[in-house]
Each structure stands twice: as C-alpha cells, then as structure tokens.
Structure 1
C-alpha cells in the first residue's frame, strides 16, 4: 500500500482504495503533488480528450493567477503597462526556474487580462484575448503542469480522475491513451479511480485513504468533464463568483484589514481541521458563503456540525448565501462590518 506522496507522476495508474472524490488535498503531506480532480467522460478520440483536458487546465491556471507568479500581486497599469510588467516578471521567473519563459510570459499576460472578478468563471466564455495562443500542445501541457505545481508550492501535479461505471470500452481506451500522452508530455500523474475492465496495460496501485478525508468537506463539486481543485490559501477560490464579489466589495474597506481567505483552522488538538471561506483571526470571526448545495440535508447537517466545533473553540460564524453576496454585496459587507466593530469594542473593553 502506497501513501499519496509516494504515488508516481509521469505515468498512468489505477488506484484501488482511493475513497470518494473530491479528495481532501489539504490533509496530504507537502511532498505530495498538487492534485486536481475530474470525472471521466466519453470522448471521440484520445486527441480530442487530451485537448479538452488541456483547455480545462488552462482555465484553471488562469483562475489561480497570481499564485504561480507571486510577485505579480498588484501588477496593473494604464495603457498596457501592467501587461508589459507581468511579461517581464514572468521571463525573470523562468530564467531561474524550470518554466519556459515565452509560454509563462504569454500565460501571465492572459491571466492579467482575465483577473478574477471580471470573468469569475473562465470556462463559461473565453474571450478572444484570453484564449490559448499558438503554442504546441506539448509546450502547453508541460507549462500548465509547472504552473499548477507552483501555485500550490508542490513538487509536481497530478490529475485524479473518477472513472464512472458504464464508461464504454472505447471511452476507457481513449481515457488511458490521453492520460499516457499527458503523463509523458507534461510529467503529470494520471491517477484513475474506478473500473477499467477494457484496458489491461494500466498498473493498479493500492493507496492509503487520505488522512481526515471523511471529516473534510469537498472544496469544489465535481462536474463531469470539469477539473476541480482546492483553493489557494489566502485567495478567493477561482471558481467562486461569490468569493470574488465579496473580496471586491471588501478591498476598499480599511476596517476589513486582517481578513484571510480559505484558511484551515484547527479548533482543537483532537478536533478535525476545518476549511473556512473567510476568517478574521484576531477577532475570531469566520464567514461562510453557501451555494445551493448547502440546502441539501447532508451538507446542511455537516455545516451545523462544523459551526458547533468552531463555536466551541471560540469562533463566531457568519453565514451568507452566494445569492445574497452576488445580488447585494454591500448589505453583506455592512453586516460583517457591524459584527467586527462590535467584536473589537468588546475585545478592547
């Protein structure tokens, strides 16, 4: 039985015992690669599937900017000055790393044009100015894999694929062949979780269940054919329009200083860690943004249990729906401001 950190990159393997997806990536050791999750789907050919995966990875990497180019935080400027600056920064970064300079510079420029807030869901409609350029697929694959690893400060990257029951033999073959191409060209680990009776050339690896997997909530729901990933600590999730809208509303408020997005909180030595959407640690205040799935019984019950663990540890938990944030962000901001001001007064007293 192998640990997650010991699973191979640069090849395709089938996992046995991986447990349900998506994976609680935060609980994995730092030596493990950055792991993205997706669900396999029928494809016309390995080439078509590999191309579709590259487009999904491209959108994911754009949304993670500037996590993979940290010094680009705050770069902007009139008349294209920001684009020139971010290209220069990318080239300098590539000169002292494994990145390919021209690709990283082009990727950074496209990411700056697609800053979160203007296009929070890049998959919905890629405008011509942020569509992938003419780099060959091999260059794109390797460059995107390096950017993903850099975004999460991991030594590499892997794609954890949920293989559903009923995938046709042709679909299984296309999936494995596309995975082999990605593994060879990009060095990605392609980890398949599910039945593959039609393909006998893939090694099966027994893997230990990720620690705290059962206790941690999924970071992003998996949609067939879409990649999912955990948020980068300290930033709004690239796939959450509500998180970006709230951050935009808070960014000009002096009283909102001290906030931190997507933090892992440890309520106690024996308690399971909790991922908080937004936290003011000094005020012991957690803000959670709930999408429609939080109304489902299982998620609602899990949310209440999380709230109780946080409250026992001394945190106050404020919950708002995505709809509230997207339709009237200023009202949400006023509620948070009132709570924090009252909290600070009571702390000073």
Structure 2
C-alpha cells in the first residue's frame, strides 16, 4: 500500500504514548493487514480493577498463547517437526539454539517456547521471570511477522478510577521498559496520569474518509472483545479462529476447493489500501469472509461495506459468513462456496 502516511512511526518507538482523538477500532482497520514497515502489532483489551502486576501477567499469558499458536512461523526449519517424538523435540531445541546464536533471542526461553508449542503444553509458572518473558515474547512476535519490532495497542476502558488508570499506565510503561514494546494507549483521555506524552497522529486518507462517513452499525449489540488479538498469518487460516479452522477442514477433502488462499493480501490499486481477504480464489474471483465479533464494531462494519462494494466493482463475488454460521454447519458453508465457484467457472469469466 502506498499512502505516504506512516502514522505508526510518529509515536516514539520503544516508549508509551497516548494517541489523542482517535478510536482504537478505527486504528484496527488501518492495521489490517499490517502496513509495510510497521511493527508487529497486537491489541490488548484490559478490564478495569487490576494491579500493575495483574495487567502485566494477563498480557504476557495471552501473548504466550499467541506465540504458541503462531509456531512454527517464528522458528525457521521447524515446519515438519513432530512433537510426539523426542527426536522432534530435540530438533526444535537445536533450531532455537541456532537462531538465538544469530539474533537477539534468549536461547533458553526460545527453546522452551518451541518445546511447549510442539507438545501443546502450557507455560510453567515461575520458570522465567516476567522481564525475560516480556523480552522473549516481543522478539517472537516480531519474528513471526518478519518485523523489526513489536507494538501493543491498548484499549483504555471507559471511566477508569484513578487507581485503575495509574495501574494500567504503569503496566504499559513496564512493557515498554522491560519488553521493549512500543505501547500505544487509545480511547478515553487520561485524567489522572499526566506523565505520558500525547501524540496526534496523521491518519491516512482512507481512515479519514471512513471516520467522516455515515455512522453505520450492525443491528446486534457489540460483544466484549477478546483479551488479546493478533494479526493472521498469510497463507493459513487464523490459528485463533475456530470458524476458519472448521471451514478449512470442510474444504480440504474436495478437489473443487483447490486454488484457495487464506488471509491473502490483495493490492487492487497502487495508491489504495491493501485488502486482507480471509479466503480467496484468485483464478475464479471468489472472496469469502468469515466475520468474528470484531466485525460488529462501528468502523469495521462500515469498512466491510466499502470493501464489498469495491471488490464487486472489480468483478469479484463476495460471500460473508458469521463465525456462528460456519461453526453451526461448516459443510453447508462449504457447499455454498462450491455452488458459487461452479457458477463462476461455468460462466467462463474468471477474474
């Protein structure tokens, strides 16, 4: 995407900043897909009423689960290792040691995380200090997306008490200081802590246009977001999406489903925003979107409508399923996709 605006570079890297006058949901649209040159960004949705240590612990535990699900993308050479055999586990530890020797990764932590990812084992409490976990998980996140650094976008809950705000800001500063994360606080203005620098970022044109458009919203109320969300990996269904995983299992046995691309980055114009398509058949011009709860937010919902119109103008057909539809009957979703593919193929007009 070539927009001329690198808003993510305006807040100082490796520090905590408050992003003024911008909705975190709007920023989330701008981060999907991750822009070229941006850090690997995860989004943290904390609840009120926790201490600094509890905020840090909740974030690190959630990021640890993300690191396990992103494996083996962050450990080159581990794609075909078998976690059921001692040989596979030993090979993973050896690969981790080799990578650590050539990078800033901490070898023992990297090897332990690879071992647990292969075995499907949870983190052992107290095995590594929080500082080591923060630094190690930040490095793993950056490596998984081939980015230079990691960042976290923290949604500030509404109406924080003075103690809540101080604790959440303290946790953000801890993550920047010990984990080397770039931390962005967004949402309601800080009222009780004044040491955090305020940054007014320059939004790209497409985000300004989206924000200035009509306030579209779905009929259903917005559900509470997941604690931590992270970007999908190109070429694979989302590891944190049971619906995408179920749909892939329903499609995999069928020859007619060949040619599909999961989480494909689609550049449709040199100066326009890149689209990330959940599921795409490039030869047939068929796009399938599997909508999770985040698609019910105001800006995501409005952006989806714009995307669908633009994709249709480009000659593509777009199917949308909710997570609930896919999980209720993945076979029915797959057969609907089959019918559309056959219709496109029989018309001899693939796009």
TM-score (norm 1): 0.81
Which of 114, 117, 122 lines up with 1:130 in the alignment?
Answer: 122
Quote the offset at 1:272 in angstroms. 4.9
Partner of 1:334: 335
Which of 177, 180, 183 lines up with 2:170 in the alignment? 177
Q: Structure 1 residue 199 and structure 2 residue 183: aligned?
A: no
Q: 2:259 maps to what in 1? A: 258
Does the CA-based 8 Å contact 1:276-1:288 persist in structure 2?
yes
Alignment of 1:6-17 (within 5 A): 6-17=10-21
Secondary structure of 1:245's counterpart equals: helix
Q: 1:155 to 1:79 in 2, by over 3 A?
A: closer
Cα deviation 1:269-293 (Å, max 9, x = unaligned): 5765433110011222111223467
Classify 1:3/1:293 alpha carbon distance in 2 versus 1 (closer, same or farther; 3 Å): closer
Question: Unmatched 5+ residue regions in structure 2?
Answer: 217-221
Superposition map of 1:21-36 within 5 A: 21=25, 22-23=27-28, 24-26=30-32, 29-36=35-42
Contact 1:161 1:191 in 2 (8 A): yes
Contact 1:95 1:101 in 2 (8 A): yes
SS at match of 1:212: helix
Aligned twin of 1:324: 325
Gaps of 5+ in 1: 115-128
CA distance in 2, matches of 1:112, 1:98: 22
Cα distance in 2 between the residues matched to 1:340 and 1:315: 11
Supply the distance in 1 between the matched residues of 2:346 and 2:90 (Cα, whole angstroms).
Answer: 46
Q: Give the corresponding residue for 1:285.
A: 286
Cα distance between partner residues in 1 of 2:270 and 2:100: 41
Equivalent position SS for 2:77 = helix
C-alpha change, 1:317 and 1:113, in structure 2 (3 Å) is: farther
- The count of aligned residue pairs is 332
Q: Cα gap change, 1:36/1:222 in structure 2, threshold over 3 Å: closer, same or farther? A: farther
Change (3 A) 1:334 1:164: closer
* Aligned partner of residue 310 in structure 1, secondary structure: helix
Superposed counterparts of 1:136-155, under 5 Å? 136-155=129-148
Cα distance between partner residues in 2 of 1:44 and 1:138: 19
CA gap 1:76/1:207 in 2 versus in 1, 3 angstroms? same
Matches within 5 A, 1:107-118: 107-114=113-120
Query: SS state of the match for residue 197, structure 1?
Result: coil
Please state how far the C-alpha of 1:332 moved relative to its aligned partner.
Answer: 2.8
Instruction: Give distance in 1, aligned partners of 2:98 and 2:282.
Output: 35
Residue matched to 1:157: 150
Change in Cα spacing, 1:44 to 1:233, as seen in structure 2 (3 Å) is same
Other-structure match for 1:18:
22
Structure 2 counterpart SS, 1:213:
helix
1:53 paired to 2:46: no
Distance 1:225 1:304 in 2: 23
Task: Write out per-residue CA displacement over residues 302-335 of structure 1, whole angstroms, 9 at most, x where no aligned residue.
Answer: 5454323212211122333323322332333333
Separation of aligned partners in 2, 1:244 and 1:279? 15
Q: Hey, what's the Cα distance between the residues in 1 that align with 2:290 and 2:189?
A: 35
Residues 1:299 and 1:207: Cα distance change in structure 2 (over 3 Å) = closer
Cα-to-partner distance string for 1:123-164 (whole Å, 9 max, x where unaligned): xxxxxx223451111111101001111122211111111223
State whether residues 33 and 276 of structure 2, in contact with CA within 8 Å, keep that contact through their aligned partners in structure 1: no
The separation in 2 between residues aligned to 1:38 and 1:130, in whole angstroms, is 20
| 1:27–1:211 contact (8 Å) kept in structure 2 | no
SS of residue in 2 equivalent to 1:190: strand
